[in-house]
Amino acid sequence: MPTRSRNVSSIALRLPQRAEVWLFDCGEGTQHQLLRSDLKVSQITRIFITHMHGDHIYGLMGLLASCGLAGNPSRIDIYGPPKLDEYLRASGRYSQLRFSYPVKVHTVTPGMVLNDGEFSVTCAELTHRVPAFGYRVTEADRPGRFDVERAAKLGIPSGPIYGQLKRGEAVTLPDGRIVNGTDLCGEPQMGRRFVYCTDTIYCDNAVELARDADVLVHEATFAHQDAELAYQRLHSTSTMAAQVALNAGVQQLIMTHFSPRYAPGNAIALDDLKQEAKAIFPNTLMAHDFYTHEIPKRSARELVKA
């Protein structure tokens, strides 16, 4: 639940090259938090919901209503578990809300959720009290930089041939020479991988979903000594989140979704959860409201807002 210093769940993935924002979960008060951030509501094009508990969906209808009033987005696609479409339809019916822009709800099942050529999203079922899904966003690999100067020195005429070579294709030139595009391109650039897992207790599906991810955002509701509560409520401890990160071989773990019982002044504080996790997985960070994390590339960067 929200506290004086922290709101409930919503993560924004910013895709600068496309001027798009994708939201993951939309807890109560998300639109208020967006107003206090540097994100533009008009850039939200996709919203991914993990499960139907209120701290992950109570802000959704308010945000969708405000999006229409703020400038009519061309379309918002919403992805989530069964009953999400029914929930939105009932909320709209009883509040007499009519969207002034297209809103499409997609019910997800384990596997591929979407693939637009530049980004793909897959999901896996997690282990919680209700159907819950984790999401993995994978950026497509890109070919290395095409060496225009070298191509010119080889006497390769510019034009459509350059496009073929940039894609790594083998091209037969007018003089009969065969040039392999891979010989004129630098090392391919691997796409980044972002994974979001909440709510769940430790499970193998989370490990497989997060395999080799650049960033894993994983819930850590409880401290290790409160593991019994974690098992009762099917939430993760800090050590469970760290174990997922370790077993999946991720680059960076960001923990979130902390119980209010670890507020300042209590016997166990959030820093204790951080130290528990770092003992297992050193590259661990703790999310806080408006925290921003960059996922670097070798030659480009993309922002993840947490």
Catalytic residue set: 55
Bridge partners of 219, per DSSP, are: 256
- Name the CA dihedral angle for 50, 110, 216, 258, rounded to a multiple of 10 degrees: 30
Secondary structure of residue 137 in the 3-state scheme? strand
Secondary structure of residue 304 in the 3-state scheme? strand
Whole-angstrom distance, CA of residue 136 vs CA of residue 120: 8
Token output for 172: 């037969």
Residue 11 burial class via C-beta count within 10 angstroms: exposed 0-12, middle 13-18, buried 19 and up: buried
Cβ of 264: how many Cβ atoms within 10 Å?
A: 8
Task: Specify the pairing of strand 111-115 against strand 76-80.
Answer: unpaired
Using CA atoms, how far residue 56 sits from 11, 73, 140, 223, in Å, is: 10, 22, 28, 21
Give the distance from CA 100 to its chain's centroid.
27
Using CA atoms, how far residue 133 sits from 121, 156, 263, 281, 294, in Å, is: 12, 50, 28, 23, 24
Whole-angstrom distance, CA of residue 71 vs CA of residue 42: 7
Token output for 62: 């308010």
Name residue, tokens 């130290």: 275
DSSP label at residue 181? G
Whole-angstrom distance, CA of residue 179 vs CA of residue 169: 8
